[in-house]
Amino acid sequence: MVEVSAVKTMEELADIAYAKVNSRQISPHCHVGQVACALLADNGNVYLGVCIDTACALGFCAEHAAIAHMICDGESKIAKIVAVGEDRKILAPCGRCREFMCQVNPKNLDTLVMVAPNTVVRLRELLPYAYVVEE
């Protein structure tokens, strides 16, 4: 978790994620850090994650890592989320990440997701037919 008292904009959240991008090979079969994610939880805390890519596809996305950190802290509701690549490009969450956010907490369908510079949508717009139906 990052202690950030007042993240107000998606751009500020993206800057926090950019600071965590650190692409490197940690073993012959594992490359990490080429994508980073920052999320603002409903409680105001910011959680970070980086991708872990393995040769046999057992790795996971930066969004999954950030969400796992949030869950470790007892939270499940995401207010805002953004993922960024090495080239400072904003990356929309993949389908697996979209569904994961929804299944962690169906109220996350209202999460604000930055999908491109100056473009923010709600998760429900990216996942109109979620596996989990909102209660």
Q: How far is residue 31's CA from residue 52's CA, in Å, rounded to a whole number?
A: 6
What are the structure tokens assigned to 16, written together?
Answer: 């926090």
Answer for the pair 92, 74: CB distance below 8 angstroms, yes or no: no
List 12, 63, 75, 125, catalytic entry: 63
Domain hosting residue 31, numbered range? 10-126
Q: What's the domain count of the chain? A: 1
The closest of 53, 66, 133, 121 to 97, measured between CA atoms, is: 66
* Residue 84 forms part of a structural domain: yes
pTM value is: 0.91
pLDDT tens for 23-39 read 999 999 999 999 999 99
pLDDT tens for 53-109 read 999 888 899 999 999 999 999 999 999 999 999 998 999 999 999 999 999 999 999
Q: How far is residue 18's CA from residue 15's CA, in Å, rounded to a whole number?
A: 5
> Biggest alpha carbon distance in the chain?
45
Active-site residue, 11 included:
no
- The CATH number of the domain where 106 resides is what? 3.40.140.10
